[in-house]
Amino acid sequence: MSKIRTQLMLCGGTACHSRGTSAVRETLEKELDRRGLAEEIQLIETGCNGFCAVGPVMLVQPDEIFYQKLKPKHIPHLVEEHFLKGRPVEKLFYAESASKETIPNMENIPFFAHQMLWAMRNKGLIDPEVIDDYIARDGYFAAAKALQEMTPEQIIREMRISQIRGRGGAGFPTGLKWDFARRSPGDVKYVLCNADEGDPGAFMDRSILEADPHAVLEGMIIAARAISAHQGYIYCRTEYPLAIRRLNIAITQAKEYGLLGKDILGTGFDFDIEIYEGAGAFVCGEETALMRSIEGKRGMPRPRPPFPALRGLWEKPTILNNVETLANVPQIMLNGGDWYASVGTETSKGTKVFALSGDVRNIGLVEVPMGISLRTIIFDIGGGIPKKKKFKAVQLGGPSGGCIPEQHLDIPVDYEAIAKVGAIMGSGGMIVMDETTCMVDMARFFMDFVQDESCGKCTPCREGTRRLLDILKRICDGKGRPEDIEDMKELSHVIKESALCGLGQTGPNPVLSTLRYFEDEYEAHIYEKRCPAKRCVALLKFEIDPDICTKCGLCSKVCPTEAVTWKKKTVARIDKEKCIKCLSCFGKCKFGAIF
Amino acid sequence: MAKLSIQDLKKIKEDAAKDMVIRGGKGNIKIIVHMGTCGIAAGAREVMATLMEEMNEANRQDIRVVAAGCTGMCSSEPNVTVEVEGEEPIVYQQMDRNRMRQVFKRHVLKGEVQTDFALARG
């Protein structure tokens, strides 16, 4: 054991970095040095801790004290009090938002208490840029086992027993996919890792790559052994610079140790990995488009079959797995398929990582066992909806997914159960929406995204999503027509039936799923020219309801154009000639008197 | 760097795991150095440094060193509390380098409470 008595695990994920981890780190180093503690106290920058909402966060070990929202100005006090004098600083603890009660230990914070860390087992525990840290946590022992003790058939058998399904969204059984590729004839095969995470609000893969890049590399080595491939590619979007940097470091270190390259661990097995940076086109997350992109062509899907397991990259048998799926593989090899299958529901086993965002208190990354209810994730782990607003719906699965309203919140996290209520498990983006969200506007946002990202190869997707967007825009502008709802339904079904790839086939889902649960909002927009959530500016009248107005006058004070007139003890008035619809008064009125 | 064999991998794991103990798992012996302003003024930093040297030498994975605040008896500082799982914690008073070494070698490693400079139980 070294002289170190305390380790400071400072979160260095992208979210915490954007909130100032670098500055905190610098100040910490300076202060520790100034106090002569640099030898006793070690500062380690880890990957994403998951609790992004309160970042930058730091866990002090072995005390297990969790500090949040750190700023450089806090550091001198913190170093003197806690690290020198041993008195934890309470004002930097996490505080329960309802009771204001502070919780010093990480394991007692509700956000962490309900989680089950398998794919993210090393998050916040290791320095992702130090391979020895990963090895200390059993890293590369699964690869050693797979290469030395197991045949490809045995590896695939374990994968099939585990019943793990693809975590990228579609949920295809991974073991089966590998089996197809193994059986495909050919000497040259490829293992690909899909790190082209593109759904709005999704950041699971990025966080895993930033926190534990070696787990993904190890998963790929095992996959390569299972199908006898000798070359792998990680397709990662270029917008993830930190993930790419850490992957590059990890690959270099693994090569130095001979864990990648020729004759891995002296077993005679060769496998190498390269990173391919994608330019951020959403469609390149689709498997056939992704492969074309690696080949150097324009990223467009092609019809399947033939499936990639038969003819994939450069027409050779290929498997493509999501980051999260691969991060689970080493654990399945070490602990066995039965262990993995012991958690979850009948058809969905193991754990799932979700990126919780939107109108929820504890924004961040959570890993939960399959079968847990959505309500537990949003209200217990997520801490519920802030600002005393009411829950309206949760959007799962990005643009291809759908939204789930309050009445279905008790369904378990399970591929089939989620599909039954009109959404998809997806890659794990979970966007919570409160009552101030307009569902028509939300559908418009996602349709804008799909339309923008459509590659243009097939007509239904290229033209159809464009027309859907036009109709949605018109409805939001208050020019909706009575036939719009039926037209959208018909058009959506045509697109679903005829589009070439997954992006197009699921493209109309935002419209269909909002229509399924919130058709009344569409009707209010179209027939009454009214936006119930008061989000669509074109539908706001900018008038003040005298019954609700408390005559406080705040609206008139914020108005930049003096359009709001108010005298003491009178209801304010808005002069529509002067009003520029900036919504300032709207945001200020606590009572919702402006409509 | 030469290529690893599986034995090398195990070796790296063992070495690296030593540094990782602090981050996970629980120790069954906890040594608390009370480092309030009074403690530091009376020499707690030296005591801590000595303790860390001893820890380094002993190479034990189950001992945790924790800094804590003043216990309230500033006149008896530097104080060190030794908590062995299943036993009553012992507070030592007026510690210095030599006393720290003695407490570590005798009490922590061998289980003999050093009553000479023990202040109290708990």
Residue A142: its chain B contacts at CB < 8 A? Answer: none
pLDDT in tens, A2-27: 578 889 999 999 999 999 999 999 99
Residue A70 · residue A31 · CB < 8 Å? no
Radius of gyration of chain A (CA): 26
pLDDT in tens, A458-488: 999 999 999 999 999 999 999 999 999 999 9
Residue B2 to residue A3, Cβ atoms within 8 A: no
d(CA A131, CA A214) in angstroms, rounded, equals 7
Query: Which among B17, B22, B49 has CB closest to A62?
Result: B22
pLDDT at A1 over 50: no
Q: Between the CA of residue A238 and those of A198, A235, A296, what are the distances in Å?
A: 11, 9, 15
Query: Which among A85, A135, A139 has CB closest to B35?
Result: A85
Domains of chain B: 26-121 (3.40.30.10)
pLDDT at A371 over 50: yes
Confidence of residue B26 (pLDDT cuts 50, 70, 90): low
Which range is least confidently modeled, A31-45, A90-104, A109-123, A485-499?
Answer: A90-104
Residue A2: its chain B contacts at CB < 8 A? Answer: 18-19, 56
Angle between helices A465-476 and A439-453 (to 10 degrees): 150
What percent of chain A stands above pLDDT 90?
73
How many beta-carbon contacts under 8 Å exist across A and B?
A: 113
Residue A132 to residue B12, Cβ atoms within 8 A: yes
pLDDT at A512 over 80: yes
pLDDT mean over A52-65: 89
Residue A263: its chain B contacts at CB < 8 A? Answer: 3
Q: Which of B19, B38, B59, B108 to mutate to test the interface with A (most CBs of A within 10 A)?
A: B19
Residue B92 · residue B80 · CB < 8 Å? yes
Q: Which 8-state DSSP code applies to residue A108?
A: G
Residue B1, pLDDT score: 52
Q: Are strands A391-396 and A429-434 parallel, antiparallel or unpaired?
A: antiparallel
d(CA B96, CA A291) in angstroms, rounded, equals 67
The model's pTM is: 0.89
d(CA A21, CA A300) in angstroms, rounded, equals 38
Which range is least confidently modeled, A87-91, A577-581, B17-21, B63-67?
Answer: B17-21
The chain-wide mean pLDDT, for chain A, equals 92
Confidence of residue A304 (pLDDT cuts 50, 70, 90): confident
pLDDT at A229 over 90: yes
B28 contacts chain A (CB < 8 A): no
Radius of gyration of chain B (CA): 17
| Residue ranges of E strands in A41-142 | 41-46, 58-61, 65-67, 94-95, 102-103
Residue A87 to residue B68, Cβ atoms within 8 A: yes
Query: Which among B4, B22, B58 has CB closest to A4?
Result: B22
Residue A132 to residue B52, Cβ atoms within 8 A: no
Tokens 């309206």 belong to: A392
Q: ipTM of the assembly?
A: 0.80
Residue A124, pLDDT score: 85
Residue A468 · residue A488 · CB < 8 Å? yes
d(CA B53, CA A64) in angstroms, rounded, equals 23
pLDDT at A405 over 80: yes
Tokens 């086939």 belong to: A505
Residue A421, pLDDT score: 92
Angle between helices A323-335 and A213-227 (to 10 degrees): 70
Nearest to A31 by CA among A64, A77, A62, A71: A77
pLDDT in tens, B75-100: 888 999 999 888 888 999 999 999 99
pLDDT in tens, B35-75: 888 888 999 999 999 998 888 888 787 888 888 888 888 88
Residue A1 to residue B23, Cβ atoms within 8 A: no
pLDDT at A553 over 90: no
Domains of chain A: 6-109 (3.40.30.10), 131-341 (3.40.50.11540), 351-434 (3.10.20.600), 439-527 (1.20.1440.230), 540-595 (3.30.70.20)
B45 contacts chain A (CB < 8 A): yes
B65 contacts chain A (CB < 8 A): yes
User: CB count, 10 Å around CB of A47?
Assistant: 30
B75 contacts chain A (CB < 8 A): no
Q: Which of A3, A4, A5 to mutate to test the interface with B (most CBs of B within 10 A)?
A: A5
Residue partners of A401: CB distance under 8 A and separation at least 6: A395, A423, A424, A426, A429, A506, A509, A513
